[in-house]
């Protein structure tokens, strides 16, 4: 049997070409882009920030845009979606910022020619806000709430009311951070639930957050009582009395807080209001706003003025009297 050599060679060449020909590339989806971007952030972002981005990617961006091909994604897709959402401008800015950053990297990697969200954001008219949810506790309310607590729970929240520390800062606080001679606490780190899961301790939220906070009487009293519970262990100051271990994050602290609020029958506000309460108390007492800003970990007076301006006004009911006395007589 004779074989047609020329026919065989033609077939072999065709088969070889088919074998090594690269198939048409699958389009890159927005979901793929976001997953890759998120993976690259794991080694450069704080655990709490990364967890926040992960929630944005998985909870908002991928459900909304994940099915779109990167090459055909348009600004109108983002604009039309944003118009249907009910959350506020701050949340919208955060969500779109993640998508915009991922698209920036896609542009740098030459996956697309330009970032369709560059220099664009979506804003709606949210109307006037009432002091940005600042709702401090009165002195009487503080007493009632703390009266519904005992032991380590009471020490934690009394310390919160009288230092203005963030929850993540109190969770990470160590006995070595307390300077008894100078009467200050050195705030150098924070630990969110996400960070503890990864066994990480993070730096403070901002450079200004790295600060020395003066310990006022009630805060010192809380620490003095807390010594019996955790000082012998020599590590974290505040522990969860139900587990005997350091607090694992803000969620379990909320549970302790909620129990006390329910028992005290005080109108409910979230634990973060302890921080607002501290600021409003200090300003209403006439403490210098810049001192309060430093105690709170704000880099300038702007945040204090924007958030707590009405307490600054209340702190100076006789403002202008000295000017009158000096120049009018």
Question: φ and ψ at 214, to 5 degrees?
Answer: -70, 135
Mean pLDDT of 107-127: 82
Are 30-108 and 134-314 the same fold in CATH?
no
| C-alpha–C-alpha distance, residues 110 and 133, integer Å | 43
What pLDDT, in 10s, does the model give residues 67-81?
Answer: 999 999 999 999 999
Burial class (CB in 10 A: 0-12, 13-18, 19+), 205: middle
Q: Has residue 142 got a pLDDT over 90? A: yes
- The residues annotated with a catalytic role in the active site are 166, 205, 275, 298, 308
Give the pLDDT score at 123. Answer: 77
User: Percentage of the chain surpassing pLDDT 70?
Assistant: 79
CATH architecture of the domain 30-108 equals: Orthogonal Bundle (1.10)
Least reliable range by pLDDT among 119-133, 216-230, 293-307:
119-133
Give the pLDDT score at 2. Answer: 47
Parse the chain into domains and list their residue ranges: 30-108, 134-314
Please answer whether residues 177 and 255 qualify as being in contact, where contact means their C-beta atoms are separated by less than 8 angstroms.
Answer: no
Q: Has residue 138 got a pLDDT over 70? A: yes
What pLDDT, in 10s, does the model give residues 201-219?
Answer: 555 455 557 899 999 999 9
Mean pLDDT of 176-202: 74
Give the pLDDT score at 32. Answer: 93
More confident residue, 290 or 16: 290
Written out in words, the top-level CATH class of the domain with range 134-314 is: mainly alpha
Residue 295: partners with Cβ closer than 8 Å, 6 or more residues away: 163, 164, 211, 213, 214, 278, 282
**Total count of residues recorded for the chain:** 329
Least reliable range by pLDDT among 19-33, 98-112, 135-149:
19-33
**Alpha helices per DSSP H over 74-216:** 75-82, 89-108, 139-147, 151-163, 167-172, 193-197
């Amino acid at each position: 049997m004779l074989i047609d050599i020329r026919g065989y060679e033609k077939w072999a060449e065709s088969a070889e070409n088919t074998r090594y020909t690269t198939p048409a590339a699958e389009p890159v989806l927005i979901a793929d882009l976001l997953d890759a971007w998120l993976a690259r952030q794991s080694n450069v972002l704080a655990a709490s920030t990364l967890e926040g981005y992960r929630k944005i990617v998985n909870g908002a961006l991928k459900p909304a845009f994940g099915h779109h091909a990167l090459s055909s994604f348009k600004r109108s897709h983002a604009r039309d979606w944003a118009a249907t959402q009910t959350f506020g401008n701050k949340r919208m800015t955060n969500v779109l910022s993640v998508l915009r950053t991922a698209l920036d990297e896609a542009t740098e990697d030459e996956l697309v020619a330009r970032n369709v969200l560059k220099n664009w954001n979506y804003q709606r008219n949210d109307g006037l806000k009432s002091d940005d949810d600042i709702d401090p506790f009165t002195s009487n309310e503080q007493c009632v709430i703390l009266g519904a607590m005992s032991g380590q729970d009471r020490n934690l929240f009394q310390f919160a009311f009288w230092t203005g520390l963030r929850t993540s800062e109190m969770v990470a606080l160590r006995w070595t951070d307390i300077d008894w001679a100078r009467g200050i606490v050195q705030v150098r780190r924070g630990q969110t639930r996400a960070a503890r899961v990864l066994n990480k301790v993070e730096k403070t939220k901002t450079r200004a957050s790295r600060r020395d906070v003066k310990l006022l009487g009630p805060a010192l009293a809380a620490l003095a009582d807390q010594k019996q519970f955790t000082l012998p262990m020599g590590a974290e100051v505040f522990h969860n009395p139900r587990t005997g271990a350091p607090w694992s994050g803000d969620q379990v602290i909320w549970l302790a807080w909620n129990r006390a609020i329910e028992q005290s029958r005080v109108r409910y506000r979230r634990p973060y209001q302890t921080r607002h309460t501290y600021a409003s108390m200090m300003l209403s007492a006439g403490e210098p706003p810049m001192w309060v800003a430093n105690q709170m970990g704000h880099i300038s007076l702007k945040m204090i003025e924007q958030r707590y301006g009405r307490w600054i006004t209340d702190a100076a009911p006789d403002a202008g009297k000295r000017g009158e006395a000096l120049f009018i007589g």
